[in-house]
Chains A and B, each alone.
Chain A
Amino acid sequence: MKRLKALAATAASVPITLFGLVLVTFLIGRVMPIDPVLAIVGDRAPADVVAAVRLELGLDEPLYVQFWIYLGKLAIGDLGRSVMTSHTVWEDIKRFFPATMELATVAILFASCIGVPLGVLAAVRQGTKVDHTIRVVCLAGHSLPIFVLALLSLLVFYATLHWAPGPGRQDIMFDEQVPAVTNFLTVDALLARDWDVLRDAVAHLIQPAAVLAYFAMAFIARMTRAFMLDALAGEYVITARAKGLSAARVIWKHAFGNIAVRLITIMALTYAGLLEGAVVTETVFSWPGLGQYLTVSLLNADMNAVLGATLVVGVTYLAFNMLADLLYKLLDPRVS
Chain B
Amino acid sequence: MSATSPTGAGADPSLRDPSLRDPSWRDWLLSDTPASRSQAAWGARYRLWCDFRANTLAMGGLIVIVLMVSAALIAPLVVPYDPAMQDLTNRLARPSALHWFGTDELGRDLFSRILMGGRVTLGMVVAVVVLVAPLGLAVGCIAGYYGGVADRVLMRVTDVFLAFPRLILALAFVAAIKPGITSAIFAIVLTAWPPYARLARAETLSLRNTDFIAAVRLTGASSARIVLRHIVPLCLGSLVVRVTLDMSSIILTAASLGFLGMGAQPPSPEWGAMIATARRFILDQWWVPTIPGIAIFLVSLAFNLLGDGLRDVLDPKQR
Q: Is the interface of A mostly helix, strand, loop or mixed?
A: helix
Which of chain A's residues has its CB closest to B179's CB?
A: A298
Interchain CB contact under 8 A, B178 and A143? no
Question: Residues of B contacting A279 with CB < 8 Å?
Answer: 167-168, 171, 260
Interface size, chain B (Cβ < 8 Å): 49
Question: Residues of A contacting B166 with CB < 8 Å?
Answer: 276
Min CB gap B155→A, angstroms? 10
Any B CB within 8 A of the CB of A9: no
Most buried by B among A33, A140, A298: A298
**Sampled A-B contacts (16; CB under 8 Å):** A21-B164, A23-B160, A132-B57, A139-B304, A142-B248, A145-B259, A148-B290, A154-B283, A230-B319, A276-B166, A280-B256, A299-B261, A306-B172, A310-B164, A313-B164, A314-B169
Which of chain A's residues has its CB closest to B296's CB?
A: A145
A-B interface pairs (CB < 8 A), number: 156
Interface string of B154-181 (1 = CB under 8 A from A): 0011011111111111011101111000
Mark B residues whose CB is within 8 Å of A: 57, 156-157, 159-169, 171-173, 175-178, 248-249, 252, 255-256, 259-262, 272, 275, 279, 282-283, 286, 289-290, 293, 296-297, 300-301, 303-305, 308, 318-319
Mark A residues whose CB is within 8 Å of B: 13, 16-17, 20-21, 23-25, 28-29, 31-33, 132, 135-136, 139-140, 142-148, 151-152, 154-155, 159, 226, 229-230, 272-273, 275-276, 279-280, 283-284, 294-295, 298-299, 301, 303, 306-307, 310, 313-314, 317-318, 321
Indicate whether A145 sits within 8 Å of B255 (C-beta atoms), given known contacts A25-B172, A229-B319: yes
Q: Determine the distance from Cα of A23 to Cα of B231 in the docked complex, in whole angstroms.
A: 33
Interchain CB contact under 8 A, A24 and B290? no
Which of chain B's residues has its CB closest to A136's CB?
A: B57
Could you say which of B172, B176, B293, B297 contacts A140, with CB atoms under 8 Å apart?
Answer: B297
Question: Residues of A contacting B304 with CB < 8 Å?
Answer: 139, 142-143
Most buried by A among B171, B172, B283: B172
Q: Determine the distance from Cα of A115 to Cα of B167 in the docked complex, in whole angstroms.
A: 23
Min CB gap A133→B, angstroms? 11
Interchain CB contact under 8 A, A275 and B282? no
Most buried by A among B167, B175, B261, B301: B175
Could you say which of B156, B165, B171, B259 contacts A272, with CB atoms under 8 Å apart?
Answer: B165
Q: Determine the distance from Cα of A155 to Cα of B283 in the docked complex, in whole angstroms.
A: 6
Indicate whether A144 sits within 8 Å of B297 (C-beta atoms), given known contacts A31-B176, A298-B171, A317-B164: yes
Interchain CB contact under 8 A, A275 and B165? yes
Which of chain B's residues has its CB closest to A126's CB?
A: B319
Q: Determine the distance from Cα of A154 to Cα of B161 in the docked complex, in whole angstroms.
A: 34
The list of the 7 closest CB pairs from A to B, nearest first, reads A20-B160, A148-B293, A276-B165, A143-B301, A143-B300, A32-B176, A28-B176
Which of chain B's residues has its CB closest to A158's CB?
A: B283
Which of chain A's residues has its CB closest to B283's CB?
A: A159
Which of chain B's residues has its CB closest to A144's CB?
A: B297
